[in-house]
Amino acid sequence: MYIEIPFWRLLMLAIPLAFTLFLLYLIKVKFIRAYWIASLRAVIQLIILGWIFAYMFYYENIWISVGFLLVLFLFASWHLISMFYHVPRVKGPVCISLGMVGFLMLFFLLGGIIHIEPWYNIQYLLPLAGMVLGNTMNSVALSSERFVSELEGNTLTIESHLALGATSYEAVAPYIRSALFASLLPVINRTATVGVVSIPGIMSGQIIAGIDPFQAAKYQIAIMICILTADTLGAILSVFLIYRNYFGRKIPLKYKDARTRTFKDTADTNE
């Protein structure tokens, strides 16, 4: 049995939204704008997505699938690039990590575990690609952001350890570890409590759609583990590529020298 939601009833969502907005307004948080724009974007994006999906299912062919993957990747990369717009030598690493790890794990999941037929079967490709790439993007962004801010905040310590003969890796390893910790902790928590605290999206979806919960559980296992490993690989790869960009040379690049913004204030503060 499947219950359809009439459109007008969705409008009721405005009640909790308006209420939380009001609360945030009273507390005077800075992200009010981001908050309502995010909600609005979610509504618009999902409506467009539902509409496009309907067409894609209708005209199922290989080019639509490829195009869809490409668009997904470009949007995710664009998001990462805008996030790291002012951080030099990070945009390449994050996009490369996202692309390599995201697609590797996606095709492992689709071809290796689920065995979809044909490989571009859009019914499976669509939701799973979104999940794997979205999660990889998230962990790449978290780990890189943390790593870069650790590099920036610990310039003096890194410099002083290099100065005593530490290899670049020895000087930076603590920050590689803390970047991986920061990006993987949420994923590890989520994976550890799945089924106990949270019933994840795809399983909820399949159960609502009337699938045998045991079958749904098998899907969920495959997806959880693929996402966990994709997140981990993405975080490791991006951090190491950034590390290589700064330290993979005889004379390491100084983070503050390479930065675009405020370099005038900081270029000479070493003195």
Partner 1 sequence: MNAIFQVELKRIYRQLRSHQKNIIQDVSFHASPGSVIDITGTSGSGKTTLLLALNLQVPFEGFIRFGDKKHDAFSPPYWRATISYLPSKIQPVSQSIKSFLLYPFSFRIHREKKTPSIPTILSLMKELACPLSLDENIQEVSLGQQYRLSFLRLYLLQPSVYLLDEPFANLDPENMKRLHGILQREAEKGKIVIRGMHTTSEYPAHQTFDIKEGKFLTQKDNINVH
Residues forming the site for partner 1 (CB under 8 A): 88, 154, 156-157, 159-167, 170, 250-254, 257-260, 263, 267-268, 270-271
Q: What are phi and psi of 14, to 5 degrees?
A: -60, -25
- Least spacing, CB of residue 78 vs partner 1, in Å: 22
Among candidate residues 155, 158, 150, 156, the one with its CA nearest the CA of residue 182? 150
- Least spacing, CB of residue 171 vs partner 1, in Å: 9
Query: Which residues contact residue 41 at a Cβ distance below 8 angstroms, ignoring those fewer than 6 apart?
Result: none
Query: Of the two residues 93 and 234, which places its CB atom closer to partner 1 in the complex?
Result: 93
Query: Of the two residues 135 and 168, which places its CB atom closer to partner 1 in the complex?
Result: 168
Query: Of the two residues 28 and 264, which places its CB atom closer to partner 1 in the complex?
Result: 264
- Least spacing, CB of residue 180 vs partner 1, in Å: 18
- Least spacing, CB of residue 164 vs partner 1, in Å: 5
Query: Of the two residues 87 and 110, which places its CB atom closer to partner 1 in the complex?
Result: 87
Q: What are phi and psi of 198, to 5 degrees?
A: -120, 140
The first and second tokens of residue 216, run together, are 């749904």
Name residue 264's amino acid: K
Among candidate residues 200, 226, 224, the one with its CA nearest the CA of residue 213? 200
Query: Which residues contact residue 143 at a Cβ distance below 8 angstroms, ignoring those fewer than 6 apart?
Result: 179, 180, 182, 183, 184, 234, 235, 236, 238, 239
Query: Of the two residues 165 and 210, which places its CB atom closer to partner 1 in the complex?
Result: 165
- Least spacing, CB of residue 146 vs partner 1, in Å: 16
Q: From CA 219, how far away is CA 182, in angstroms rounded?
A: 27
